[in-house]
Amino acid sequence: MAGNAVLEVTDGNFEQEVLKSSQPVMIDFWAAWCGPCKALAPVVDEIAQSYEGKLKVVKMDVDKNAATPGRYGVRGIPTLLIFKDGVVKEQIVGYVPKETLQKAVDKHVTQAVKTEA
Protein backbone atom coordinates (compact mmCIF):
# COMPACT_ATOMS: atom_id res chain seq x y z
CA MET A 1 0.00 0.00 0.00
CA ALA A 2 2.61 2.55 -1.04
CA GLY A 3 1.60 6.07 -0.16
CA ASN A 4 -1.04 4.90 2.31
CA ALA A 5 0.88 2.63 4.66
CA VAL A 6 -0.57 4.28 7.79
CA LEU A 7 -3.83 2.86 9.16
CA GLU A 8 -6.27 4.89 11.27
CA VAL A 9 -7.28 2.92 14.38
CA THR A 10 -10.02 3.47 16.95
CA ASP A 11 -10.80 2.36 20.49
CA GLY A 12 -12.92 -0.34 18.82
CA ASN A 13 -10.22 -1.96 16.68
CA PHE A 14 -7.12 -1.11 18.76
CA GLU A 15 -6.83 -4.56 20.33
CA GLN A 16 -7.06 -6.36 16.98
CA GLU A 17 -4.82 -3.98 15.01
CA VAL A 18 -2.19 -3.22 17.68
CA LEU A 19 -2.19 -5.63 20.61
CA LYS A 20 -2.70 -8.77 18.51
CA SER A 21 -0.33 -7.75 15.71
CA SER A 22 2.41 -10.24 14.83
CA GLN A 23 4.65 -7.30 13.86
CA PRO A 24 5.91 -4.47 16.07
CA VAL A 25 3.45 -1.54 15.90
CA MET A 26 4.08 2.18 16.19
CA ILE A 27 1.00 4.21 17.07
CA ASP A 28 0.82 7.97 16.65
CA PHE A 29 -1.66 9.66 19.01
CA TRP A 30 -2.66 12.96 17.38
CA ALA A 31 -5.40 15.57 16.95
CA ALA A 32 -6.40 17.82 14.05
CA TRP A 33 -5.76 21.02 16.06
CA CYS A 34 -2.24 19.99 17.15
CA GLY A 35 0.54 21.88 15.30
CA PRO A 36 3.40 19.54 16.30
CA CYS A 37 1.22 16.58 15.23
CA LYS A 38 0.91 18.09 11.76
CA ALA A 39 4.69 18.62 11.63
CA LEU A 40 5.31 15.01 12.68
CA ALA A 41 2.79 13.47 10.25
CA PRO A 42 5.11 13.40 7.19
CA VAL A 43 7.88 11.86 9.33
CA VAL A 44 5.49 9.13 10.50
CA ASP A 45 4.44 8.53 6.88
CA GLU A 46 8.09 8.20 5.79
CA ILE A 47 8.77 5.71 8.59
CA ALA A 48 5.70 3.71 7.54
CA GLN A 49 6.95 3.49 3.97
CA SER A 50 10.57 2.76 4.94
CA TYR A 51 9.63 -0.08 7.28
CA GLU A 52 6.69 -1.50 5.33
CA GLY A 53 6.48 -5.24 5.95
CA LYS A 54 8.55 -4.98 9.15
CA LEU A 55 6.62 -2.41 11.20
CA LYS A 56 2.92 -1.66 11.32
CA VAL A 57 2.25 2.08 11.65
CA VAL A 58 -1.12 3.33 12.87
CA LYS A 59 -2.63 6.64 14.00
CA MET A 60 -5.33 7.41 16.54
CA ASP A 61 -7.24 10.70 16.81
CA VAL A 62 -7.40 11.40 20.56
CA ASP A 63 -10.45 13.64 20.15
CA LYS A 64 -12.49 10.76 18.71
CA ASN A 65 -11.01 8.00 20.90
CA ALA A 66 -10.53 8.71 24.61
CA ALA A 67 -10.31 5.23 26.13
CA THR A 68 -7.06 4.01 24.56
CA PRO A 69 -4.96 7.15 25.16
CA GLY A 70 -6.21 7.18 28.76
CA ARG A 71 -5.30 3.54 29.26
CA TYR A 72 -1.71 4.20 28.16
CA GLY A 73 -1.22 7.48 30.02
CA VAL A 74 -1.12 9.71 26.94
CA ARG A 75 -1.30 13.25 28.33
CA GLY A 76 0.39 15.27 25.60
CA ILE A 77 0.39 14.93 21.84
CA PRO A 78 1.93 13.94 19.63
CA THR A 79 2.79 10.78 21.54
CA LEU A 80 4.23 7.76 19.77
CA LEU A 81 4.17 4.33 21.37
CA ILE A 82 5.96 1.30 19.98
CA PHE A 83 4.29 -2.01 20.85
CA LYS A 84 5.80 -5.45 20.49
CA ASP A 85 3.80 -8.56 21.40
CA GLY A 86 1.06 -6.33 22.84
CA VAL A 87 3.42 -4.53 25.25
CA VAL A 88 4.63 -0.91 25.12
CA LYS A 89 8.38 -0.99 24.48
CA GLU A 90 9.02 2.69 23.74
CA GLN A 91 7.34 6.05 24.28
CA ILE A 92 8.22 9.26 22.45
CA VAL A 93 6.42 12.49 23.36
CA GLY A 94 6.49 15.58 21.17
CA TYR A 95 7.99 16.27 17.77
CA VAL A 96 11.23 14.42 17.03
CA PRO A 97 13.36 14.39 13.87
CA LYS A 98 13.19 11.38 11.57
CA GLU A 99 16.64 10.14 12.65
CA THR A 100 15.57 9.99 16.31
CA LEU A 101 12.42 8.09 15.40
CA GLN A 102 14.36 5.69 13.17
CA LYS A 103 16.76 4.85 16.02
CA ALA A 104 13.83 4.07 18.32
CA VAL A 105 12.13 1.92 15.68
CA ASP A 106 15.35 0.11 14.74
CA LYS A 107 15.76 -1.17 18.31
CA HIS A 108 12.47 -3.03 18.08
CA VAL A 109 12.28 -3.91 14.39
CA THR A 110 15.80 -5.37 14.40
CA GLN A 111 14.95 -7.44 17.48
CA ALA A 112 11.76 -8.65 15.83
CA VAL A 113 13.60 -9.70 12.69
CA LYS A 114 16.28 -11.52 14.69
CA THR A 115 13.80 -13.47 16.80
CA GLU A 116 11.93 -14.70 13.72
CA ALA A 117 15.08 -16.16 12.14
From the number of C-beta atoms within 10 Å of its C-beta (0-12, 13-18, 19+), residue 68 rates as buried
Q: Which of 9, 18, 25, 37 is catalytic?
A: 37
Q: What is the pTM of this model?
A: 0.90
Give residue-wise pLDDT tens across range 38-74: 999 999 999 999 999 999 999 999 999 999 999 999 9
Q: Which of 5, 34, 47, 74 is catalytic?
A: 34
DSSP state for residue 42 in the 8-state scheme: H
More confident residue, 39 or 115: 39
Q: What's the mean pLDDT in 29-46?
A: 97
**37 tagged catalytic:** yes
Beta bridge partners of 69: none
Q: What is the pLDDT of residue 34?
A: 98
**94 tagged catalytic:** no
Note whether residue 40 is domain-resident. yes
Q: Domain containing 34: what range?
A: 6-116
Whether residue 80 is predicted with pLDDT greater than 60 in this model: the reply is yes
Looking up residue 74, the CATH number of its domain turns out to be 3.40.30.10
From the number of C-beta atoms within 10 Å of its C-beta (0-12, 13-18, 19+), residue 108 rates as buried
Note whether residue 1 is domain-resident. no
How many independent structural domains does the chain possess?
A: 1
